[in-house]
């Protein structure tokens, strides 16, 4: 990876982690949605500088959609039934996991290989997804269909009960 790509990777990583922290810490829905959009932008940048242009485009679209959903003012708040102690334990567990993963990344001995794909690799990715891994793609498509149909059904049921 040359210097230009490395700088782009680090800048995108900073944007990504800043957006992620905003999602975790900002109070308002609109602010959280905007932070998720910023995180999606950073994620797309990271993918782009890792020679995954097609994945960058898809991630940008999906995270923009998720950001709009999170920022929407129409849904109601659902309080978590877990006590503050459990939530604090979860936060401490997240910190412990971060330390563990960072230690593993730092101490790990990883194989290295030359990358032969292009900046986007759409054709190779299409062959992979629709020939080699077609079943996985169909499973995710089914998940998307069930999610959207379930969300619509739940939404309409609430509307009807009003």
Partner 1 sequence: MSAGLVQVFFVAAGLVAVGIFAAAWRRDLTAALAGIPLMFGGAAVALVGIARFSAAGGPHLFGQGFAVLLAISALALVALGIGISGREGSR
Among 38, 41, 43, 45, binds partner 1 (CB under 8 A): 43
Task: Look up residue 81 and give its DSSP letter.
Answer: -
Which residue of 41, 54, 85, 119 would you call a contact of partner 1, by CB under 8 A? 54
Give the integer Cα–Cα distance in Å for 132 and 44. Answer: 25
Eight-class DSSP state of 77: P
Question: Any contact of residue 135 with partner 1 (CB under 8 A)?
Answer: no
Q: Which of residues 87-126 bind partner 1 (CB under 8 A)?
A: 87, 89-91, 93-95, 97-98, 101-102, 104-106, 108, 110-113, 115-117, 121, 124-125
Q: Are 94 and 25 in contact (CB under 8 A)?
A: no
| 99, two tokens | 């330390």
C-alpha to C-alpha distance for 114 and 134, rounded to whole angstroms: 26
Chain positions 64 to 83 lying near partner 1, rule: CB under 8 A, are: 65-66, 69-70, 72-80
38 binds partner 1 (CB under 8 A): no
Total number of residues that touch partner 1 (CB under 8 A) = 92
């Amino acid at each position: 990876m040359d210097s230009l790509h490395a700088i782009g990777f680090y800048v995108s990583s900073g944007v990504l982690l800043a957006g992620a922290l905003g999602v975790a810490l900002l109070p308002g829905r609109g602010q959280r949605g905007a932070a998720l959009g910023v995180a999606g932008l950073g994620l797309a940048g990271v993918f782009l500088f890792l020679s995954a242009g097609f994945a960058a485009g898809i991630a940008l679209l999906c995270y923009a959609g998720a950001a709009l959903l999170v920022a929407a003012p129409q849904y109601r708040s659902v309080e978590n039934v877990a006590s503050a102690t459990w939530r604090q334990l979860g936060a401490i567990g997240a910190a412990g996991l971060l330390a563990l993963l960072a230690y593993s990344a730092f101490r790990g001995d990883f194989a290295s290989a030359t990358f032969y794909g292009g900046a986007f690799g759409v054709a190779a990715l299409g062959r992979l997804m629709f020939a080699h891994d077609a079943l996985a793609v169909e499973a995710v498509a089914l998940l998307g269909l069930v999610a959207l149909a379930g969300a619509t059904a739940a939404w309409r049921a609430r509307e009807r009960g009003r």
